[in-house]
Amino acid sequence: MTKKSNYLLSLFGALLLSSPIQAQNLLPKPQQVTMGKGVFKTSDGVKVENQVGADAENVYTKAWNAKVNDAAKRVVKFTKLANASSPEAYKLHVAPDAIEISAASSEGFLRAWQTMEQLTTKKGIACCDIVDAPAYKWRGLMLDVSRHFFPISFLKKQIDVMSEYKFNRLHIHLTDAAGWRIEIKRYPRLNNFAAWRSGKLWKDWNANGNKYLEQGSEGAEGGYYTQDELRDLVKYAAERGITIVPEIEMPGHSEEVLTAYPELSCTHEPYKQADFCPGNIGTYDFLENVLKEVMDIFPSHYIHVGGDEAAKKSWGSCALCQKKMKELGIDNVDGLQAHLISHMGKFLNEHGRQLVGWDEVIAGNLSKNTTVMVWRGTELAHEAIKHGYDVVMSPGAYCYFDMYQDAPGTQPVANGGFIPTEKVYSYVPGSDLPEAERNMITGVQANLWTEHIPTPEYAEYMLYPRALALAEIGWNGTKTKNYPEFKTRALAQVEHLKAEGVNPFELKKEIGERKEKMMPVQHKAVGAKVTYNHAYNRYYPAAGEQTLVDGNMGGWAHGDGRWQGFIGKDCFDVTIDLGNSTKISSVGTDFMQSSGPEIFYPSQYTVSVSEDGKNFTQVFDKKYESSKEPILNFKTLTWKGNKTARYIRVQAKPSSFGGWLFVDEIIVK
């Protein structure tokens, strides 16, 4: 009996005592399923016919083993699946008197078992015929345990849930500025100093100077996983068909390391650097030594090295970095990051592993067996595929579960944005890529960043049921979309998760999108010509030059195509031409506040009017106090009065600490 089967042995007996899921609520939906009549009962014993040996042991159960009877009328047969499209493919035939499970590998038998879990009720196993295989080989969830440290028991609980819905990758974000979370024996300062900070909550630590503390000192908060704990977690996950992919950040997001070991930074000063010094040979020795211990713990073929958002502030003035650039024959600091990532990729290859990085790592000198995790635009997926890399799609607009999932005023604090379950479900990976490239996408993944998520209960609230929508995409694919039908299944699964002690969002109580977005608004400036005296940002164009007067209000998310983004000094300055002299009584402009992505209300709002478009009279000018409260909110700044004018100039200055301005409509009455 294999170790993996031990887990399944204990599980089936429990299933027979409950009735968690009705057959019509299978999630993710199999590729082909035909429901039959009746159930297969195990209560009177079964006859087992195993034609494939150890691989089939993954679906043996205590209930069956205890009641195996060679004379029984009901038969459970395990057979080999020929010409399988994937190691996880399987066929399942359930009739009142027989079950036949066919698969090509232990992974396939495990996926069949996970489907049978959902087919099992108090009466027995629902009769059906299923032909199934995954749409993507990488179906992942990322949990950030640096910003807030969660216990091993929480990770095991999520592995149990992930297994039910056929996820196969748990990506753990183990290191970041907020805390180093993995025991590295060669570098003890990572654990007795860099894993501990002066604030239980990330927001408190971030607001009070980002200080680290010695382990055991007064006020020290944090923690790390021992190597033995992580080896046990790896085993636990493997028994449930899940590979754990560790992430060790480099070269950026490394303040905790560079405060513990400042000699690895360009300045050699603690609390001064976020990025490793790529010109320092000690950097490469350190990272290689860390990765050796990581690889000894995690058998995963994939090792994630981060690679995102490196500031590179000191690289241009660092003598060692300049020397390295000269040696490499490069003339910009971006080439230094490419060199460091390439070096680590080759190191991992030499040890039989494959580098995974966020899409910033894309460079022509990485080995072909590199996986790029695309979190920004699809054009980066195109570029990665062009280089020959594997691509996992994880776009922030659909797969960042730290965003609000319902009306922000009704939800705990999140990192801005708005990604409801329906939006996750609507995602089509690579939809704007050519078909040949779309077919080369390796997988999909959702990420739960935890800056604003301090507790396990809140983490589960943000994960589910949105993760179920991603499970559907990852396993079943995207050939057809029917959200009402999916929602019915998701609602049933929410009740099931609650019964298992999970804390999901109550999808049945969902409020939904901002009501202003749902209904066009009529006003005197709709369709008017708008002159941008300061251009909107090219990354947030919304509907272009008609955005501010198209009658369409924005929703909860700044990236929904309704909100137009502006950044820089005096960044919002537009003139509206009404076409002729018009009586006006108010000019109102909607602004968004969302501190996570650094979107803030303006510090000053000004309205001026003119008859000729050249000589303007100021009718309103007011200053506002700036705040960095993270709560997503909206404010309409308005002039009211009585004027006659053809041209209206509206200006706004950014907050006192900079950031973005986002505007959806200028309403003129």
Q: Kindly list the structural domains of the chain, giving each domain's residue range(s) and its CATH number in brackets, ordered by start.
A: 18-132 (3.30.379.10), 138-509 (3.20.20.80), 515-668 (2.60.120.260)
Q: Phi, psi at residue 109, to the nearest 5°? A: -65, -35
Q: Does the structure show a pLDDT above 70 at 63?
A: no
Alpha carbon distance, N-terminus to C-terminus of the chain: 76
Q: Phi, psi at residue 164, to the nearest 5°? A: -60, -35
Classified as helix, coil or strand, 249 is strand
**How far, in Å, are 592, 594, 605, 632 from residue 635 at the CA level?**
7, 12, 12, 11
- From the candidates 296, 309, 432, 570, which is the catalytic residue? 309
Chain centroid to CA 261: 30
- Which residue has better confidence, 352 or 43? 352
CA distance 151 to 239: 20
Q: Does the structure show a pLDDT above 60 at 560?
A: yes
- From the candidates 55, 164, 176, 256, which is the catalytic residue? 176
Considering the chain, what is the average pLDDT of its residues? Answer: 93
545 is annotated as an active-site residue: no
- From the candidates 148, 171, 173, 253, which is the catalytic residue? 253
User: In terms of Cα–Cα distance, which of 417, 398, 310 is closest to 357?
Assistant: 310
Mean pLDDT within 227-236: 98
The DSSP bridge pattern shows strands 179-180 and 98-103 to be unpaired
The reported pLDDT for the residue numbered 138 is 98
CB atoms closer than 10 angstroms to residue 144: 24
The reported pLDDT for the residue numbered 394 is 98
Structure tokens at 104: 């090509």
Q: Tally DSSP H helices, then E strands, for the chain.
A: 18, 26
The CA-based angle 357-151-466, given to 5 degrees, is 60
Q: How confident is the model at residue 20 (pLDDT cuts 50, 70, 90)?
A: very low
309 is annotated as an active-site residue: yes
Chain centroid to CA 196: 25
Mean pLDDT within 278-302: 98
CA distance 460 to 235: 22
The reported pLDDT for the residue numbered 10 is 40
560 is annotated as an active-site residue: no
The reported pLDDT for the residue numbered 17 is 35
Mean pLDDT within 562-571: 94
pLDDT digits (tens, 9 = 90+) for 311-350: 999 999 999 999 999 999 999 999 999 999 999 999 999 9
User: In terms of Cα–Cα distance, which of 80, 113, 78, 94 is closest to 40?
Assistant: 94
CA distance 248 to 244: 13
User: Worst-scoring range by mean pLDDT, 23-37, 532-546, 603-617, 644-658?
Assistant: 23-37
- Write out the E strands in 505-571: 529-532, 564-567
pLDDT digits (tens, 9 = 90+) for 140-161: 999 999 999 999 999 999 999 9
CA distance 200 to 218: 12
The reported pLDDT for the residue numbered 23 is 60
pLDDT digits (tens, 9 = 90+) for 359-369: 999 986 788 89
CA distance 261 to 270: 8
Q: Does the structure show a pLDDT above 80 at 2?
A: no
Please, which contacts does 332-339 make with residues 24 or more away whose CB atoms are closer than 8 Å?
336/278, 336/279, 336/312, 337/251, 337/278, 337/307, 337/310, 337/312, 337/361, 338/363, 338/365, 338/366, 339/278, 339/365
Q: Does the structure show a pLDDT above 60 at 11?
A: no
What single string gives the DSSP state of each residue in 483-521? HHHHHHHHHHHHHHHHHTT-----GGG---S-GGGGS--
- Is the peptide bond prior to 28 cis by the omega test (within 30 degrees of 0)? yes
What single string gives the DSSP state of each residue in 93-111? EEETTEEEEEESSHHHHHH
The reported pLDDT for the residue numbered 44 is 77
The reported pLDDT for the residue numbered 353 is 98
CA distance 500 to 533: 57
User: In terms of Cα–Cα distance, which of 131, 96, 119 is closest to 22?
Assistant: 119
The answer to whether 336 and 307 are in contact (CB under 8 A) is: no
Q: Does the structure show a pLDDT above 70 at 9?
A: no
